[in-house]
Amino acid sequence: MTQILDGKAQATKIKEQVKAQIAEITNLDKPTMAVVQVGDDPASTVYIRQKEKACAEVNMNFKKVSLPNDISQQAMLAEIDALNTDPAVHGFMVQQPLPSQLNTDEIVERIDPRKDVDCLHPYNSGLIAENRGVLLPCTPAGIVALLDAYNIDLEGKHCVILGRSRIVGKPLGMLMLNRNATVTYCHSRTKNLSSICQQADVLAVAIGRPKFVTADMIKDNCVLIDVGINRLDDIDSSTGKKLCGDVDYEGCFEKTSYITPVPGGVGPMTVAMLVANGLKAWTSVKCQ
């Protein structure tokens, strides 16, 4: 029988643990997380509000740094430097996407790796590749934590990852490899995609294509992780929602052993891991 991987419930547990640890901080200032927003992209504003809410839930201070859409690269780097050296900010992230005049790689590489709560700095990715990561990338770490919560052991499993983005696919593969899984990456140039997916014990999908994975592409009793968040123009008649994942959830459900819903699966785990990183960043900034 299929079991739903309840990311919302598990995220609540993680946030409760972070909250309890923050409550124990008495003789030092509490962790503060900052999020930098350039411009006023509505989707970014929604995501930042979710982060602010999660910080409030765990009693972590939250600071939003709002910058104009036409900010120069030099001015942006100066803002990053200011956050790096601000003793009252322990962790921060720059909400992406950034406007085209900005060099995202240079900005990410300017972040103090200890304060890099999004875990995008190459130093932190390198640590993950070496299985020595402290700060972990939020979405991939959230997926692994969700699998752990349901005692789904990755050792020896064939994990197939659809998508190789810097934020999801690539680091997810590294975390799974660190758990002794056999990992296959697929992307837009992959040939025979369906047949590779059909071999997956665990299939994680992060491509941003509504309902791309269908029942004929998966093996019986696989674990199906849907990272996609796709906003639809119209309400989906089968779900009544204006949001769907990269997986045809209804079509695949019966064939899986475990499946994540959208919403309520990977999304809440991502935000929970961000506040967990906020606490880790506080620990490395304050206690080292």
Q: Interface with ligand NAP by CB under 6 A: which residues?
A: 139, 162-165, 167-169, 186-190, 193, 206-209, 227-230, 266-267, 270
Specify the residue, 177 or 193, whose C-beta has the smaller distance to ligand NAP.
193
Residue environment code for 144-183, b if the CB has 16+ CB neighbours within 10 A, otherwise e? bbbbebeebebeebbbbbbbbeebbbbbbbbbbbbbebeb
211 is an active site residue: no
Nearest-CB residue to ligand NAP? 165
Residue 19 CB, nearest approach to ligand NAP (Å): 21
286 is an active site residue: no
Specify the residue, 91 or 169, whose C-beta has the smaller distance to ligand NAP.
169
Calculate the alpha carbon distances from 30 to 111, 178, 279, 285, 287 in Å.
21, 32, 9, 12, 13
Please tell me which residue in 118, 201, 246, 248 is annotated as part of the active site: 118
Q: What is the DSSP string of 53-119?
A: HHHHHHT-EEEEEEE-TT--HHHHHHHHHHHHH-TT--EEEE-SPPPTTS-HHHHHHHS-GGGBTT-
Specify the residue, 133 or 228, whose C-beta has the smaller distance to ligand NAP.
228
Please tell me which residue in 95, 157, 211, 248 is annotated as part of the active site: 95
70 is an active site residue: no
Residue 244 CB, nearest approach to ligand NAP (Å): 10
**Active-site residue list:** 51, 95, 118
